[in-house]
Chains A and B, each alone.
Chain A
């Protein structure tokens, strides 16, 4: 079973019955029960299997009404029954979307619980379509905190879909960028990212740390930064890494999106061979997926933190990747990274090592965090998530939630530090 200790029910239902849109068309009936006879009639109604009614508030004593959630497909039957049996009722909520848009916290919780028994299993890997649908759902469920930011389309014309978490009401605030899925086969990264999306939405207003961060800063989250590659790992080749752009003059497809950033482009740790898995591309930001993110961040102008999720190796790293020499802020970044690693280890004992990209992993010029750092985003980190090579890219699904939970602790540590510094 999959649950969120903050009581936000990140459930693991594998039964996909109704679409979210339909659920939001459900209504809440308030039914008055004046005597024993009416109570038994209400029970009769509640017990009919096919109507799928849900009792939100039971009539504790006579004279107190019952609140019943009626699915959109049962509305007509329920109304007929109530009218036929002379039961007094009123429709208190015409559609659940309005509840979510309202201030009624208690009702909201009920609605979200309802919506929770939906399709998305956080403890499993999903297609791009399913992830995007769940992102839609999160936006719908938390309309005042979360908005959809569609920054453009990939090479094969798939949506580059970003979630924005903001309490800022339109004003542009200092921001944090969370990136995942640049490398298509690193499935644990998008899986972790979508869990984090839901977690942020759930925990706002409950968890001191994230609530405080969101009071001052906006969070942008891109769970699938390379949608074409991700789809390709589902349809053709589970171990594909790059984008799916065409290379003129070559039969080989794709560029390594984490060598394509405009920072020491084409240096050590890259290849100029289009067939290589580390091909840097014809020029910086040649990949539309990279360009869209870089341009968005540059245009926004006030990002303070950039974190890129990858797998595998269990590392928390900071710039530089293009060389092994230390970045100017390496001392501070090292401490922050170490604190993050400690936080991550505190949950399940998973050990993450810490260091600069170049000295810990390998040379990698033109990577995302080097670019972020060179463009004024001091707190630039890249994570290599589980594991250390045992299952490698095909990390079993039962490790998704533990990985996401520990990663979240690491991210919070970093974001908290950033918040205190700005």
Chain B
């Protein structure tokens, strides 16, 4: 095992646990992974380990894993964002495929600053031939108990049911970064839908952040589920482009998220048609978180 010289996140004020203890959990996870990975490595050889993968590359892979995790969890009250990569290994083969073994910390995506909890995830991420939609295997520590998460989702759902529909031409957040408290649930749900899209589109060279909801086409709650049709502006980091994506999702607490999307790629000489579509199939629920 090769622990690279990855800058560990510096101890936060108040964090007095010794460094060794802080590492203990991720190391354990890593050891567990090693056992699993050894038997699960792809047969076709030619995997060259990158001795010093850049922190940027590892972060990109970690984010892809998190996007997938958030999507599968389908829980707008329990969204997680990347805090820092604790350890990562990277391999590339002759076909220009990449795979990663990662341990990283996460933070809860919450409005209230009081609760700043760090979770830990371990993930294997596999990019095929520069193609997007990496295969992801990810496990995260449970930041909140399942019951509490379900309860909070349900509360969020009730709030959403009460929201009046015409939200046309509302940018969230506004230019000054402000999200009205009543619009927070919309933001969370939009982020959930965007997570699916961002997972689908991430490659070793392209990675995304959600910038702004630029319009809400539809917000329907007449039957049980929330039916949400909106346009989000994704920021692709390596090209710095803003990609508008039309997303249509259907959500009900505890059920898998259904998403359809269509992104408006900028025409470039290298890329072909420049538009992209995708949709989710109904997925079986993962039970390990």
A residues sitting closer than 8 Å to B (CB atoms) are 124-125, 233-234, 238-239, 241, 256, 271, 273, 275-278, 345, 349, 351, 353, 355, 359-362, 388-397, 399
Contact = CB atoms under 8 A, between A and B. Distances in A.
A390 B109 contact: yes
A125 B175 contact: yes
Contacts of B17: none
Residue from A125, A362, A395 with most neighbouring chain B CB atoms (10 Å): A362
B266 to A, nearest CB: 6
B145 interface: no
Nearest to B191: A390
A233 B212 CA distance: 14
9 contacts: A234-B175, A238-B212, A239-B233, A271-B239, A345-B10, A360-B54, A388-B82, A389-B209, A396-B173
A390 B81 contact: yes
Contacts of A351: 9-10, 84
B95 interface: no
A396 B12 contact: no
Interface string B146-185: 0000000000000000000000000101111110000000
B238 A362 contact: yes
B237 interface: yes
Given A238-B212, A393-B211, 12 more contacts: A125-B176, A239-B211, A273-B268, A276-B239, A349-B13, A351-B84, A353-B7, A389-B209, A392-B211, A393-B235, A394-B175, A396-B178
A395 B109 CA distance: 15
A89 to B, nearest CB: 47
Contact of A278 (B9, B209, B239): B239
A194 to B, nearest CB: 15
Contacts of B266: 275-276
Contacts of B13: 349
Contact of A394 (B10, B212, B240, B241): B212
A353 B240 contact: no
A392 B12 contact: no
B209 to A, nearest CB: 4
Contacts of B238: 362
Contacts of B54: 359-360
A238 B233 CA distance: 11
Interface residues of B, number: 35
Interface string B90-132: 0000000000000000000100000000000000000000000
A238 B12 contact: no
Main secondary structure of the interface of A (DSSP, over half): loop
B206 to A, nearest CB: 11
Residue from B175, B211, B240, B269 with most neighbouring chain A CB atoms (10 Å): B240
Nearest to B267: A275
Given A273-B269, A275-B266, A394-B176, A239 B212 contact: yes
B7 A394 contact: no
Contacts of B178: 396-397
Main secondary structure of the interface of B (DSSP, over half): loop
Nearest to A345: B10
Contacts of A391: 173, 177
Given A125-B176, A239-B233, A273-B269, A394 B211 contact: yes
Contacts of B267: 275
A42 B233 CA distance: 61
B56 A276 contact: no
Contacts of A355: 55
A396 B240 contact: no
9 residue pairs, one from A and one from B, having the closest CB atoms: A396-B177, A394-B177, A389-B209, A277-B240, A238-B175, A239-B242, A394-B173, A397-B176, A395-B177
Contacts of B9: 351
Contact of A360 (B55, B171, B235, B241): B55
Interface string B47-63: 00000001110000000
B175 A277 contact: no
Contacts of B176: 124-125, 394, 396-397
A379 to B, nearest CB: 22
Contacts of B7: 353
B56 A360 contact: yes
A361 B55 CA distance: 9
B268 A276 contact: yes
A211 B173 CA distance: 40
Contacts of A390: 81, 109
Contacts of B233: 239
A127 to B, nearest CB: 11
Nearest to B54: A359
A277 B54 CA distance: 24
A180 to B, nearest CB: 17
Contacts of B237: 362
Contacts of B268: 273, 276
Contacts of A395: 177
A394 B31 CA distance: 40
Nearest to B56: A360
A241 B55 contact: no
Contacts of B10: 345, 351
Interface in B200-239: 209-212, 233, 235, 237-239
A392 B235 contact: yes
Contacts of B84: 351
A393 B211 CA distance: 7
A277 B243 CA distance: 11
B218 to A, nearest CB: 23
Given A238-B212, A394-B211, A353 B239 contact: no
Interface in B1-30: 7, 9-10, 12-13
B169 to A, nearest CB: 14
Contacts of A271: 239
Interface string B74-86: 0000000110100
B192 to A, nearest CB: 15
Residue from A124, A238, A276, A397 with most neighbouring chain B CB atoms (10 Å): A238
Nearest to A338: B7
Contacts of A124: 176
